[in-house]
Amino acid sequence: MKIGIMGGTFDPIHIGHLLLGEFAYEDFGLDEIWFLPNGNPPHKETADTGASLDHRIKMIKRAIQGVSYFRLNLHEANASEHSYTYQTMREFNQMFPEHEFYFILGADSLFSIEQWKYFREIFPTCTILAAMRDDKDALEMQDQILYLTEKYGARIRLLQAPLLEISSTVIRERASRNLGVRYMVPDSVAEYIKMNHLYKNERS
């Protein structure tokens, strides 16, 4: 099967993530999309006021409920140590030699990937599907794709999805100020955030 991997902190999951998953599924003929929340992100300082892993997982479950090809994968969440993408992807290839993996990411990740631990080892394990994000235009994306392809032999395809200027950061900030987050996250996630008073202590 062709498996799309959508990795992230998902603090919280929002429609930008879901839209990327949906477009990757449709446009690249994938069979499943695995949402892969990280347990304790090494390259990212999670604000101590961010939601716990348990909350992040529950929000993903709500967001993908009812979509048969969207799956939650707890490989990194259950790991006792920091998970690095190169490791996870290597392990996925070993565990599922019958699958072909597509790693889905946004422009910010494509531009920072050289800072990821042992990033060179990621490229042989998957095809990268890279989506544009507000801060980079199409030309910059194409340049970066070409650069990574030529320098590291990476396989990267442009994932064309509608641009959504939505981030978990914006959602956390709005929730912290008691503002609604409806339409940026599925209703079931907005309800969950409200019900559990998430993101209330974030400095803004």
User: In whole angstroms, what is the distance from residue 46 CA to residue 82 CA?
Assistant: 13
110-119: long-range contacts at Cβ-Cβ below 8 A with a sequence spacing of 24 or more? Answer: 110/141, 110/144, 110/145, 110/148, 110/156, 111/136, 111/144, 112/43, 113/148, 115/43, 116/43, 116/84, 116/85, 116/86, 117/42, 117/43, 117/84, 117/85, 117/86, 118/84, 118/86, 119/85, 119/86
Choices 14-22, 27-35, 69-77, 145-153 (CB under 6 A): range interacting with ligand ATP: 14-22
Our finding on whether 83 is near ligand ATP (CB under 6 A) is: no
Our finding on whether 131 is near ligand ATP (CB under 6 A) is: yes
Nearer to ligand ATP, 87 or 109 (CB): 109
Choices 23-31, 87-95, 167-175, 183-191 (CB under 6 A): range interacting with ligand ATP: 167-175
Pairing verdict, β 70-72 and 156-159: unpaired
Choices 56-64, 88-96, 164-172, 196-204 (CB under 6 A): range interacting with ligand ATP: 164-172
Our finding on whether 11 is near ligand ATP (CB under 6 A) is: yes
By CB under 6 A, the residues from 87 to 126 that bind ligand ATP are 105-106, 108-109
Binding site for ligand ATP (CB under 6 A): 8-11, 16-17, 20, 105-106, 108-109, 131, 133, 164, 166-169
